[in-house]
Structure 1
Amino acid sequence: MSASTKNLFDKVWDLHSVGTLPSGQTQLIIGLHLIHEVTSPQAFDMLRERNLKVKFPSRTVATVDHIIPTDNQLRPFQDSLAEEMMSAIEKNCREFGVTLLDLKDNRQGIVHIVGPEQGLTQPGMTIACGDSHTSTHGAFGSIAFGIGTSQVAYVLATQTLAMNKPKVRRIEVNGQLGKGVYAKDVVLHIIRKLGVKGGIGHAYEFAGDVFDRMTMEERMTVCNMSIEGGARCGYVNPDQTTVDYIKGRPFAPKGADFDKAAAWWLSLASPKGARYDDVVKYDAKDIEPTVTWGINPGQSVGIGESIPQVATFDAEDQAGAQEALDFMELKAGQSLDGLKIDVAFIGSCTNGRISDLREAARIVQGKHVKPGIKALVVPGSQQVREQAMQEGLDKIFESAGFEWRGAGCSMCLAMNPDKLKGREICASSSNRNFKGRQGSPTGRTLLMSPAMVAAAAVSGCVTDVRQLA
C-alpha cells in the first residue's frame, strides 16, 4: 500500500509492528499500558510464577475504579473482595515499580477518563488495557484495544501484544445535529444501524463534519461505545481540537517538544483518497434523542419512534428481539416516551466527564427528582468531581434531589455497592444494558444521554429532553 493511501490505522499499526509471528498475527509494541484493580491481580501472579518483571514500568499506569465504593470510601472497604483487590493492586504496583493513582491521589478515577485528562493518551499511540472500553482513547487518533487478563500479563512482561490486523470501516456522519441530540445519540444510532456484530473484525474510523465539530469529550463518548458495535476499536483523526485539548496536560510534551509532537500528530490523519475496506454514511438530521429498549446497545429507538415489530428484524435476530421484549416487559409498537423509571444514573467512562455533568445540571436546575426515584451523579474522576464542585454543579444536583458521589465506575457495572434491586428500571448514561449488568439479574437498563437521564429523573419517566431544555 502506498503512503498516500494509508489511513491513520494503517500508519499507526505499521509504525508499531515488530514483525509477523508464525501464527500470522502481528506483534505490536504497546506505547501505553493502563491497568486497574480487577484484571491485573492474576496477571501479576503470572509474572511471579515465571520470575518476570514489568518490561517498561514507565509505560504502565494503574488506577482504581471498578470496585471502588462511591459513597463510603473508608478503608477497609465493607466488601471484603473489593478490599482484597485494592490491597492486591497496591502491593503489585509497589513490588513491580508501577505508578498507581489510588484514592489518596487526586488523579484517581475511571481509567478511560484519567488517561486523557492527564495527557497520557496521545495521537499515534498504541494503547492497551484489560477493559473492553479502552476504545475510548481512539478519540485522540490512537489505536486502543481492550485485552484479557492473560494478555495483560503478556504486555506487562514484553510491552507487546500479538494481534490479527482488523479491516478499517469509515463511518461518516454529516449535517447538523438537532437540538437535544448528543454524541451518545449519534453512537447509539450507528450501533442500531450496523448492529452489535456489525463491526466484528473491523476498526471504525469516525469521520464527517459532525465528528469534526465535536469536542474531545464528545469524541471519547463515541469511541468508547465502538466496542458495543462489535468493532475492535474506534478512532477519530487528530486535528487542532485534539492538539488544543492535550496542550498543558501533565504528561504532554512541553515547549518546542510539544510543537514538534503536534505537527507529527496532525500528519497522521487519514489523507483524502485513503483506502478503506468499507465506507458507510449517515445524515445527522435522521438522529434524534435515542433510548435503548432491549438487552443490547443495538436495540434502541429514537424517542419519537415506537419499538419495532419483531418480524422487521433479520431472521437471526428475531429470537433475540423477542427475548429482549419479554425481559423488559415491553411490547412491539410501544413508545418509550412516558415509561416509568426507578433509578437514574449519570456517570461511567462513557458519560462521566465535566461536559456531561454540565448538560445534566442545566436540565435539572430549578427542578426536583420525582419522589420515589433514586438518582445518582458519579463523576468519572476526582479531577472531574473537583471541577464540578468549583462550578457549583454539586449544589445544583443536590438541590434537585440527586446523590453526589465520589469518583468511580459505580452503577455502570455494579462491581461495588451501587446496584439495582429486583426489577428496577434504570435510566443510565452508561454503555451496556445486558441482563444483570447493573447488579440485579432481573434489573432493567435503558441507555441514553446524560441529559436524557436528567430529564427522566425529574419527570419520573422517559422524557424527550427537548421538552425540558
Structure 2
Amino acid sequence: MGKTLVEKIWDAHVVKRAEGFPDILYIDTHLIHEVTSPQAFDGLRKRGLPVFRPNQTVATADHNVPTLDQHLPIKEELSRYQVDMLSKNTKEFGIELYGLGHQYQGIVHVIGPELGITLPGKTMVCGDSHTSTHGAFGAIAFGIGTSQVEQVFAAQCILQSKPKMMKIEVNGELQKGVGAKDIILYVISKITAAGGTGYFVEFAGSAIRSLSMEGRMTVCNMSIEMGARGGLIAPDETTFEYIKGREFAPKGDKWDEALAYWKTLYSDDDAEFDAVLTYDAADIQPMITYGTNPGMGIGVSQTIPATADQPESEKPSYQKALDYMGFADGESILNKPVDYVFIGSCTNSRIEDLREVAAFVAGKQKAEGVEVWIVPGSKQVEAQAIKEGIDKIFETAGFQLREPGCSACLGMNEDKIPAGKYCVSTSNRNFEGRQGPNARTMLVSPLTAAAAAITGKVVDVREFI
C-alpha cells in the first residue's frame, strides 16, 4: 500500500517508535519568538542544559512589537520586557536573532518562507498555532506549547503521536474576486471550527494547484482554524520556482540533490486517507465571518443562518456570538458600516497581498471615518512595497502603511481595535476580544478588505471588478 505525503515525511523523521507510546520525532527547524520562549529558556537554565542545535533554531520578534516608530523604545512594559528577554536569551544560548531593526525581522511565518528556511520535506515547529503556514511547501509544520519548546531546545526532538490524515480537494475555477482566503473560509464554514480535529490535512485539487505559493500559505495557515493539527500541500514546480535563489535555500549541487528528493514528496495513488472531502471552486464566493469563530462564515451575498437551525447543544453559544457581534438571525451583512480595516497578519501580509490591495485602491480614497492599517509581514515585504511605490498608493488613498509585526491580529501589542467597533480584517481569528477587549472582527480576503476601506461598508467586491 502506498503512503500519504504526511506518512512519507513523518516516517523519515521518526527517531524511535514503540507500541503504545508517542513517536520521538526529529525536528529540522525550530522557529521561536518572544512570547512562548522565555519559560523554555528558563527551564534550560534550571537544568543546566544548552540549546542542543542552535543553528537549527530561528528567532525573531513579532507578536509584541509596535508597528510605528520601531526605532524607539517599546512603550508597553510587558511587550518591552519580552522583546528584551528574547535578545538576552538568544545571545546567551547562541541563537541568531532577527530582532527589531534587522533586515530579516518580521512575522515568524512570513520570514521562514521568504528566506528559504522553509523547505519541502522538513519537520518544523514553533510555539505558535499558525506554524501550519509552512505546510504550503510540503512540510510537516505545527504549533507546540512552551514545555515542548523546551523539549526541542534540549533534544531537537519532540514526543508526538502520529495524526490521522484527511484530504480536502477543491477543484474547478474560482470566480473573479475570489482568492485563497475565500477558499479556506469556505471550507471551514462547511467543516466547522472543529471538523479537522485530530487530523493533518492535505489540500489538493486543481483550484489549490492554481494558487501561488503565497495563496497556498494562506490556506495552510488557517488549517488550524478547523481544528486540524496542521495542513500541507504537495510541492510542485510552483514551489520549486518560489524557493530557488532565496537566501538560505540550497545552492549548486545541493539544490539538484534537494530537488530530486522534493519531487518524491506526494501522496501515492493508492495511499489511504482517514477522510476525504471534495468541494467545487465555482460554489465559492467572497467570504465573510459573522460570529466569533472562523467557522461562522458565509458568502458575502448570503444571510446569517438562524439560531433555530443550529444543533440544540450549540444554540446558546451561537446566540451569544451573534449578541457579541450585534447581528441577528437572517440578517445580511452587505452594506454594514465598518470602523477599521486591518490588512496584515501571518495570513495575509505578504507582498502579493499588498500588491492586490494597491491595484484595487489606486486612484481611490478611503471612506471618511474608516481607519485603515496596512501592516507588512516583514522588513523585506516593507522594502519591496516601497521599491514598487505601493507605499505612495496607500498614502494617497489615506491608508497607513506601518512597520512589520503581528499588529492588530491579536490584542497583545499597541494596535488594538476599540471596544464595540467593527473591524474588517484579513487575519485568521475572530474570537471575542481577539483584536482588543469587546472589538468586533469580520474575517475577509485582502480584496474584500480593500473594498470595505474604500466604501466604508461591507460590499461584494465582484461588483467592483
Residue 258 of structure 1: aligned partner: 255
| Pick aligned residue for 1:457 from 447, 453, 457 | 453
**Structure 2: gaps (5+ residues):** none
Give the distance between the partners of 2:313 and 2:272, measured in 1 at CA.
Answer: 31
* Residue 429 (1) aligns with residue 426 (2): yes
For the 8 Å contact 2:60–2:108, the answer to whether it is kept is yes
User: Residue 218 of structure 1 aligns with which residue?
Assistant: 215
Query: Which residue of structure 1 lines up, in the alignment, with residue 275 of structure 2?
Result: 278
Aligned amino acid, residue 87 of structure 1: D
Whether the aligned pair in 1 keeps the contact of 2:419 and 2:436 (CA below 8 Å) is: no
Residue pair 2:70, 2:101 contacting (<8 A) in 1 also: no
Residues 67 and 409 of structure 1 are in contact (CA less than 8 Å); yes or no, is this contact kept in structure 2? yes
| TM-score normalised according to structure 2 size | 0.99
Q: 2:184 aligns with which of 187, 197, 220?
A: 187
Deviations 1:373-417 (A, max 9, x none): 111000000000111111111111111011110011000012111
SS of the residue 1:127 aligns to: strand
CA distance in 1, matches of 2:153, 2:83: 19
Q: Structure 2 CA distance, aligned partners of 1:394 and 1:279?
A: 43
Kindly, what percent of the aligned residue pairs are identical? 52
Give the alignment of 1:285-300 within 5 angstroms: 285-300=282-297
Amino acid at match of 2:281: A
**RMSD of the alignment, in Å?**
1.0
Name the CA distance, whole Å, in 1 between partners of 2:317 and 2:354: 34
Specify the SS of the correspondent of 2:278.
Answer: strand
The one-letter amino acid paired with 2:453 is A
Instruction: Write out per-residue CA displacement over residues 51-94 of structure 1, whole angstroms, 9 at most, x where no aligned residue.
Output: 01000011001001000100121342111111111110111111
For residues 57 and 382 of structure 1, the distance between their equivalents in structure 2, rounded to whole angstroms, comes to 23
2:456 maps to a residue whose letter is G
User: How far off its partner does 1:22 sit?
Assistant: 7.3
Which deviates further from its counterpart, 28-37 or 82-91?
A: 82-91
Asked if residue 29 in structure 1 is aligned to residue 40 in structure 2, the reply is: no
How many pairs are equivalent? 465
Moved over 4 A (4+): none
3-state secondary structure, aligned to 1:348:
coil
Partner secondary structure for residue 282 of structure 1: strand
1:362 aligns with 2:359: yes
Counterpart for residue 131 of structure 1:
128
Q: Give a deviation string over 1:96-137, Cα, whole Å, max 9, x none.
A: 010100112101100000000000000001000000000000
TM-fit CA distance, 1:164: 1.4
Q: Does the 8 Å CA contact 2:71/2:101 hold for their aligned counterparts?
A: no
1:376 alignment partner in structure 2? 373
1:9 alignment partner AA = V
Partner of 2:74: 77
- Would the aligned equivalents of 1:21 and 1:27 in 2 still touch at CA under 8 Å? no
Distance 1:330 1:41 in 2: 40
Which residue, out of 285, 303, 320, partners 2:300?
A: 303
Is the CA contact (8 Å cut-off) linking 2:306 and 2:329 kept in structure 1? yes
1:90 corresponds to which residue? 87
Structure 2 match to 1:232: 229
In the TM superposition, residue 256 of structure 1 has moved relative to its aligned partner by 1.8
> Amino acid of the residue matched to residue 318 of structure 1?
K
Aligned match of 2:175 = 178
User: What aligned pairs does 1:196-211 form with structure 2 within 5 A after superposition?
Assistant: 196-211=193-208
Structure 1 residue 18, shift from structure 2 partner: 1.1
Structure-1 separation of matches of 2:281 and 2:151: 42
Q: Distance in 2 between matches of 1:34 and 1:21?
A: 28
1:105 aligns with 2:74: no
- Determine which of 140, 145, 165 is the counterpart of 2:142: 145
8 Å Cα contact 2:193-2:227 kept in structure 1: yes
C-alpha distance in 1, partners of 2:359/2:305?
Answer: 32
Mapping of residues 308-347 of structure 1, within 5 Å: 308-347=305-344
CA drift of 1:23 comes to: 5.6
What is the distance in 1 between the residues matched to 2:420 and 2:18? Answer: 49
Cα distance per residue 1:235-285 (max 9 Å; x no partner): 000111111111001111101210121111110111222211111100001
Give, in angstroms, the shift of residue 315 of structure 1: 2.7
Say whether residues 1:6 and 2:3 are aligned partners: yes
Query: Is contact 1:28-1:161 (8 Å) kept?
Result: yes
Alignment partner for residue 52 of structure 1, among 49, 53, 76?
49
Corresponding residue of 1:404: 401
Instruction: Give 1:60's aligned amino acid.
Output: T
Distance 1:74 1:160 in 2: 37
* CA drift at 1:224: 0.1
* Counterpart AA for 1:242: T
Q: Which amino acid aligns with 2:218?
A: T
Code of the aligned partner of 2:120: P
Structure 2 counterpart of 1:29, one-letter code: Y
